[in-house]
Amino acid sequence: MDKRQIKQLVQLSITGDKLDKNKIEKITALLTRNEFRQYVKGLKKFVREHTVVIEVPRDSNHLSDSIKNQFPGKDVIINKNPKLLLGVRIQDNDDIYEISLADTLKQMEEFLLTTYDR
């Protein structure tokens, strides 16, 4: 089974914008072990491409609606990460954006160490 066929199977597994559990079960029952592995990789890729993970330092339920509007057609997951100091980390597929006080201080430190001799 080639990549095009796997992609077609993944597309058949979708109802609306979501994966359909019943369709997935029917498709997996017909696949060989190797085809099943390729199919699972395709499903994982679909989920990764259609999910945005946002990490914030504290609970911010009031932000969820405004953030979801920024990523139409994608599932937005908001996680609490207390290690982020006054910032946010956004993972959209393979792109990661991190804006935090700790990251800014680290970049400043690296700049100073590379610019000035000790």
Co-location of 59 and 93 in the same domain: yes
Region 29-43: mean pLDDT is 94
Please tell me whether residues 7 and 45 are part of one structural domain. Answer: yes
Whether 114 shows a pLDDT value over 80: the answer reads yes
Are 25 and 60 in contact by the 8 Å Cβ rule? The answer is no
Residues 62 and 110 in one domain: yes
Question: What share of the chain has pLDDT > 90, as a percent?
Answer: 36
pTM, whole model, 2 decimals? 0.69
Q: Are residues 88 and 110 in the same domain?
A: yes
Q: Are residues 93 and 75 in the same domain?
A: yes
User: pLDDT band for position 60 (50/70/90)?
Assistant: low
**By residue range, what is the domain housing residue 13?**
3-49
